[in-house]
Amino acid sequence: MGVLMEKGVLVEVVLFGGGRAKRRVVQDGGKVVIVCTESEYRRARAEGRQPEGIGFPRGDVKVLKEC
């Protein structure tokens, strides 16, 4: 399975059709990683709630190095 991805980590996901997008990790469920958009992540933090996200197969999620 590899190393668990921590909540809030910036990742790149492979979208349906092959596109790519930057997202934030909500939860690492092993084979599936739940992610959300940057705006949803910030809004949820400001409101004190868990971000709403969608699941991607672990193989379609790559951790990005933040500058």
Tell me if residue 40 falls in helix, strand or coil: helix
pLDDT at residue 66 in the model: 62
Buried b (16+ CB within 10 A) or exposed e, 8-21: ebebebeeeeeeee
pLDDT tens column, 2-46: 678 999 999 999 999 999 999 999 999 999 999 999 999 999 999
Q: Which residues pair with 56 in a beta bridge?
A: 33
Round to whole Å and give the CA distance between 40 and 53. 8
* pTM summary value: 0.89
pLDDT tens column, 17-27: 999 999 999 99
Strands 61-63 and 10-14: antiparallel
Chain centroid, CA 33 distance in Å: 6
